[in-house]
Amino acid sequence: MTDTAPRIAVLVPCYKVERHVLDVLARIPQSVWRIYCIDDACPNRSGRLIEEKCADSRVKVLYHESNRGVGGAVKTGYRAARADGCTIAVKIDGDGQMDPELIDRFVAPILAGQCDYTKGNRFYYLEDVEAMPVFRMFGNAALSFLSKLSSGYWSLFDPTNGYTALHLALLDVYPLDKVHDRYFFESDMLFRLNIARAVVKDIPMRALYADERSNLSVTRVFLPFLGNHLRNLGKRLFYSYFLRDFQVASIEIITGPVLLLFGVLYGGYHWWQSAHAEAAAPTGTVVIPALAIILGVQLILSALNFDLRNMPDDPVHPYLPTGEERDGRSGTD
């Protein structure tokens, strides 16, 4: 690798992955410049195992004194990679569920200037979806829809997939400290990336399942995820359609829900009164809420259609300052 070649880093959060992590590290391609293994206060001392058993000179072990979750580990890796002058950071798990040989595939669209961030999609291959338990499939579909709604990336799927690659220049416009530390990390990343107008691309992949067990339970995280997604949706709409810009969709976002709520409450109240009095409601009392509901739904659908067409399509990282420019140097003699 030449000095001018982009430096690719791989981040491997390590928490109870001692059975698989050495094999994962051994399969990381030579195109990777540095490998950061983040021991997230692992009770089984995964970091020490790597230092003792892995002879790869690219590997650097970082330690957390207390457990911060997968998001906290990845953020530590991002900062270390950026400090070492890396260009792109790829995050994979250490439990063997993600094929390290796909790393170059995740990096290529970013290097080609097609996007700022790539993430895996395990639902691309239909035979893999058919083999998935029905409950888990619908749970992931529900989480994916919530993520589309809150992040604004309507074309993406499998938001909890942790196989990702990020152009580290995005850290200049990305509030890394505000990103969720634990299981909501991947979904929160997408929300923050949309606020930064970054382009995100799905990469088809197959998950590798063996004797490892996932710590993510759809039933356990659904309600917390729902609350976080609704919060992010409100923030995204405010930032994108009121703070940064104001368009016809901004008016639709306000008036649509108001008309719909008015129609439902007004119509419901007068329906209850008519039923209680055992008398037919006046025509006007029926028409007013009906029109409000129809118009409200139409305005909401129109705003949704605008949001679908408003996904970022121009990568951000080519326009951000280089390392020399950030340090106050022009990069010329």
Backbone angles phi, psi at 266, to 5 degrees: -65, -45
Distance CA 91, CA 10 (A): 6
pTM above 0.75, yes or no: yes
The per-residue pLDDT for range 65-97, each reduced to its tens digit, is 999 999 999 999 999 999 999 999 999 999 888
The per-residue pLDDT for range 2-44, each reduced to its tens digit, is 566 899 999 999 999 999 999 999 999 999 999 999 999 999 9
Whether 97 and 212 have beta carbons less than 8 Å apart is answered as yes
Q: Higher pLDDT residue, 209 or 145?
A: 145
Q: Where are the domains of the chain?
A: 8-242, 247-308
The per-residue pLDDT for range 265-299, each reduced to its tens digit, is 999 988 888 888 877 778 878 899 999 999 999 99
Please determine, for residue 330, whether its predicted confidence score (pLDDT) is greater than 60: no
Sign of CA dihedral 148, 153, 157, 161: negative
Backbone angles phi, psi at 8, to 5 degrees: -100, 130
Least confident of 42-51, 94-103, 136-145, 163-172: 136-145
Look up residue 28 and give its two tokens.
């990381």
pLDDT given at position 229: 94
Look up residue 302 and give its two tokens.
């129109």
pLDDT given at position 208: 66
Please determine, for residue 264, whether its predicted confidence score (pLDDT) is greater than 50: yes
Please determine, for residue 108, whether its predicted confidence score (pLDDT) is greater than 60: yes
pLDDT given at position 323: 59
Please determine, for residue 154, whether its predicted confidence score (pLDDT) is greater than 60: yes
Please determine, for residue 322, whether its predicted confidence score (pLDDT) is greater than 70: no
* Residue 324 banded pLDDT, cuts 50, 70, 90: low
pLDDT given at position 332: 39
pLDDT given at position 46: 93
Quote the percentage of the chain above a pLDDT of 90: 69
User: What is the architecture of the domain spanning 8-242?
Assistant: Alpha-Beta Complex (3.90)
Whether 77 and 9 have beta carbons less than 8 Å apart is answered as yes
Task: Find which of 33-47, 123-137, 204-218 is predicted with most confidence, using mean pLDDT.
Answer: 33-47
Look up residue 146 and give its two tokens.
């919530």
In three-state secondary structure terms, 187 is helix
pLDDT given at position 215: 54
pLDDT given at position 259: 97
pLDDT given at position 329: 46
pLDDT given at position 331: 42
* Residue 333 banded pLDDT, cuts 50, 70, 90: very low
Element at 230 (helix H, strand E): helix 218-238
Please determine, for residue 188, whether its predicted confidence score (pLDDT) is greater than 80: yes
